[in-house]
Each structure stands twice: as structure tokens, then as C-alpha cells.
Chains A and B, each alone.
Chain A
Amino acid sequence: MLVYLVLTIAALSFIYPFIWMIMASLSPEKDIGSLILFPSELTLDNYEMMVGKIPIWRALFNSLFVSAINTGFSLIFCSMVGYALSRMQFKIRDLIFFILIFTMSLPFQITLIPNYVLMVKLGWIDTYLSLTVPFMINAFGIIMFRQAFKGLPQALIDAARIDGCGELRIIFRILWPNIKPTIITVAILAFMGSWNEVLWPLIVIRNEELMTLPQLVTLFSVGGRAEAQLGVKLAAAVFLGAPIIIAYLIFQKHFIQSMASTGMKD
């Protein structure tokens, strides 16, 4: 019984704050200070005010667009490189793999400033390019695909070659259907990484029309525009959290498996 008590208290401490947040965002401002769970009346005032103050729909579009581009390109590029590293013979293959592992352990603090300078020099500040191009490929995705392709039988590839398939066709038509869990993992990680990233957009985007959702909500929250009104801030936070919470409720198992695999990279 003690076990269930511990579990229930823990579960409540993780879930209750979210419920409180949603309820508070639906309450009139004067009620938030005294709210424990249910508001005296429900209102959408906070959401209307938020939509009036910041281009939140545009930010939602930006975030979806950027995350979709990054996820799509990550899948394509990481599979190509992973395939080459596991199934093709060429001179510097082992060297590339070594570099890959090395760059994974390189802290991002070292590249942050020079990458910003690079964006300035390329003229990519305040464009979608700075939010997408640097994130179209990542070492972890390459390693996941390399691992998955290694596990497939060579006969599958040989048979496709005899039928006259090119390498790209082999990857995407023949091999992809056999490694769905890996594709889902790389996709979820790329999408989440892109969706939740906030330091980089804060640095490279100044134009409000191009801001991503977490960036816009952050600046709204720390800037003066929420005018110290808690309800509006919380409404913005709910708006930012909702898409991921909904996706999580539907694809919960995939999320947990994907994230757990990040710990297994050694």
C-alpha cells in the first residue's frame, strides 16, 4: 500500500501543476491568486488578450515549419551518411566515424559565438536559413541509422542491386521499411529538439514575424508586454505546451522509447 501512496503523491506532483496552469489560464485575473484547482468562472479573456498582443499564430506556424524542415532533412541526410558508414567501403570511413564520435562530446558553448558570427556574415540573421540549415544533420541521428543499417542482412541490398536499384533507392525504398523504429526515434528527437530550442532563436532572430513559439513566449514573459498579468503569461505557456502534450498523449510509448535511447548512445 505504501508503494501506491508514494506513486500517487509523485504522479500528483507531476500532473497537478499542469492542471493548475491550464485552470489558471482560464480564470479571471483576480481569481488566480487564490486558485487552488477550480476557478469560479471560466473565461477565454487571457487567450484573447494574448492573441491581440503577440503574433502567436504566426509563431506557431514558424515553429511547425522549422521543426518539420529540420526533421525531414535530418531523416534524409542522417540515413545517407549512416548508410555510407555502415555499408560502403571508402578510404576515410573510419576517420569520419571517429570525428563523428568526437564532435558529439564537444560542448556547444565552444561553437555558439562563432556560429552566430557565421550567421551574421552569411546574412542569415532574421531568415529561416539560420534556424534550419545548421540543424539539418546531427551526429546522433547518423549513429542511430548506422546502427540500424548494420543490423540488416546484406542479401537485401544485393538483391536490390541485381534489380538495378541505385543507392538512394536502396536506402529509401528497400531499407527504410525495415527500420521503422529507428526512423520514428530520429524523427521524434529531431522534432523535439527543434521545437524546444530557445537559446539559438533568441540569438539569431530579432524580427517578431520570424520568431519561433518558445522564443516569442519567452520574450513576452520576460519583457514588459504581459504587464505583470499572470493569466496572459500562463495562457502563452499553455499555448506553447499544448501541441507537445497532445502529441505526447497520443504517441507516449514512442516518446519514452526515443528519449531513453539517447542515454544508450555509448
Chain B
Amino acid sequence: MVSPYLFHLLAFTAFPVIFSLILTFYKWNIIGPMEWTGFGNWERIFNDRLFWKAILNTFKFLAIHIPLQIIVALLLAEVLNQKIFMRGFFRAAFFMPFVISGVVVTILWQQLLGYESGVINRILVLLGMGKVGWLIDPNVAMVSIAIMATWKNVGLYVILFLVGLQTVPKQYYEAADLEGASHWQKFFKITIPMINPTIFMVVVLSTIGGFSLFIEPYILTGGGPLNSTLSAVLYIYKQAFEYYQMGYSATLGVFFAMMVMIVVIVQKKFVEQDV
């Protein structure tokens, strides 16, 4: 009964993980023979400025994306968690971008963010403000991608927060009302501590999602301008499928995967402490 899983596990998880570790010690262009390099690939990582730039870019993306996502999702969930006319409609509207392919969302935003004729810049000009180089300014491009990713994913987190908010017992708010607490006090003293587990779940999920950032920069900028939107996964992809450096890109994959796991473990430790 479990044999399909065991086959699948051996073929597509166990073998690749082991083979990946072996590949890190070889230089290989997939066509010729494998060439032993010892720790050459690992040494190369530490001298590969572009890879560290990609890591830094990925963290920069996370640093904007996660707080923005939590604030917007929490705000919308808090507003939706009341008796609201057409509540189902609003919930469905927020969730819509999440179900649609990232490819569609990215092509759409490419037009919205265009410099000369993009919708957003045209609105800014109408309002009497200057144009912003959303995708062509190296200082702004990653911010644009983080905003776009937030727009796409925030609906999921609104739903998760809604579920979380409904677990907070009503008596707490009633007691606070008797004490004359303001709306903000209730929000920060009751709601936030009570939904702490949800907040951390959202952080972990969007961290894992953020670390796999690929298709957005691939379509939008190709990693530019000046490599400012080159993400770690995009760099690994390029090493493997543009330069055919299988050994090196496998090493990058293993290294980056370990980094992801460490970050997530650290975050999980935080959850256990705070709750």
C-alpha cells in the first residue's frame, strides 16, 4: 500500500539529495565526464560575489515583503472580521490574485510598472508627481517586486488571519470594554498576543515562499538592472541552464537549502519561546 510512496521517495527525494551532495565535489557540464574538484565548488561559493549579491537581494526582498504582507493582511482581516455587508465578495476579491499564475500577475504588473506608459506612472503624473523608475532604477526594482508579490499573496494571509481572529474568545473583548479600553488598546493588548501563532505561521510560510523567488524577476527584469533583482534561485537556474555548471549549481542549491532551513528553524524557536 505504501510502495508507491517508497518508490517516489527513493527516486525523487532520497536519490537527488544524495546525488546532490556527491555533485558538490565535482565539476560537470552534464555532457562530458564528471571531474573531481574536491572542495573547489565550496571555495568558489565564498568568493562568488554575484551569489552573495543574490542572497542579499533575496533577504532584501524578504525584509520588505514580510512586514508589508503582515501589516496589510492583518489590517484587512481585522476589518473583515466584523459584520460586513458583502463580506464574501470582499474576501473573494482579496484572494483572487493568489490563485492566478505568477506568470499572469507578472506580465500584468510589467505593464502597470512601465516607466513611460505604465498605468501607475500615468496616475502619478495626473496627480502632479514625478515618474518613478519602478523597474529600471536599481534602488527601486526589488521594492517593486516585493510590492507585487505582496499584492499577489496577501489574500491567503488575510484568510489565515481571519481563521486566527475567530479563535480569540469574545469574553476578552467584553471584559476590556467594561474597563473602557480603546479600539487600539484591544488590538495590541488582546488581538496581537492571541494570534501570535498565526503571525509566526505567516512569517514561516512567506519566508519559504520568498526564498523561492524566481519567476517574477525572470520575466520582469531578468535579474537586472545591475543585478539588483537577481534572486538566489534565479542565480542557481542561470548557473545550471545558461552556463551548464551542474556541480557548482548543485553546490549552490545545497548551500542555499541549508540556509533556508536554518532561517526557518530559528523562526520556529521564536514561536516556541513566545507562545
Q: Contact residues of A with B, CB < 8 Å? A: 3-4, 6-7, 10-11, 13-15, 17-18, 20-21, 24, 32-34, 36, 77, 80-81, 83-85, 88, 96, 99-100, 103, 105-118, 120, 134, 136-137, 142, 167, 192, 195-196, 198-199, 202-203, 214, 217-218, 221-222, 230, 233-234, 236-238, 240-241, 244-245, 248, 252, 255-256, 259-260, 263, 266
Contacts and interface: CB of A to CB of B under 8 A. Distances in A.
Interface string B94-118: 1111111111100111111000110
Nearest to B118: A33
Majority secondary structure of chain A interface residues (helix, strand, loop or mixed): helix
Contacts of A20: 112, 119
A111 B117 CA distance: 41
Given A105-B261, A142-B5, A218-B215, A11 B107 contact: no
Contacts of B257: 106-107, 109-110
Given A218-B103, A237-B107, A240-B101, A120 B1 contact: no
A252 to B, nearest CB: 5
Contacts of B23: 113-114, 117
A91 to B, nearest CB: 11
B201 A106 contact: no
Majority secondary structure of chain B interface residues (helix, strand, loop or mixed): helix
16 contacts: A3-B84, A10-B94, A21-B108, A36-B122, A81-B5, A100-B5, A114-B20, A120-B30, A167-B1, A234-B107, A241-B101, A244-B101, A245-B100, A256-B95, A263-B156, A263-B160
A244 B11 CA distance: 31
Given A109-B260, A116-B240, A222-B222, A263 B205 contact: yes
A167 B3 CA distance: 14
A114 B205 contact: no
Contact of B111 (A7, A13, A24, A100): A24
B240 A113 contact: yes
Contact of A109 (B80, B96, B212, B215): B212
A39 to B, nearest CB: 14
Contacts of B19: 114, 117-118
B96 A237 contact: no
Given A110-B254, A114-B23, A221-B219, 13 more contacts: A81-B5, A88-B1, A100-B5, A106-B257, A109-B253, A113-B20, A113-B23, A116-B240, A134-B8, A136-B8, A196-B100, A203-B241, A214-B101
A77 B101 CA distance: 26
Contacts of B129: none
Given A15-B96, A107-B257, A259-B159, A236 B16 contact: no
Most chain A C-beta atoms within 10 Å of own C-beta, residue among B103, B155, B212: B103
B241 A96 contact: no
B116 to A, nearest CB: 8
B246 A117 contact: yes
A237 B104 CA distance: 5
Contact of B253 (A77, A100, A113): A113
Most chain A C-beta atoms within 10 Å of own C-beta, residue among B6, B16, B92, B256: B16
Interface residues of B, number: 83
A115 B10 CA distance: 12
B112 A113 contact: no
B252 to A, nearest CB: 8
Contacts of A241: 100-101, 104
A96 B164 CA distance: 31
B68 interface: no
B25 interface: no
A106 B99 contact: no
Contact of A240 (B103, B208, B222, B246): B103
B219 to A, nearest CB: 6
Interface in B158-187: 159-160, 163
B100 A244 contact: yes
B236 A109 contact: yes
A77 B11 contact: no
Contacts of A137: 4-5, 8
B156 A260 contact: yes
B76 interface: yes
A266 B93 contact: no
Most chain A C-beta atoms within 10 Å of own C-beta, residue among B5, B84, B111: B5
Contacts of B219: 218, 221-222
B151 interface: yes
B95 to A, nearest CB: 6
Nearest to B18: A114
B91 interface: yes
B46 interface: no
A237 B93 contact: no
Given A11-B90, A112-B236, A80 B12 contact: no
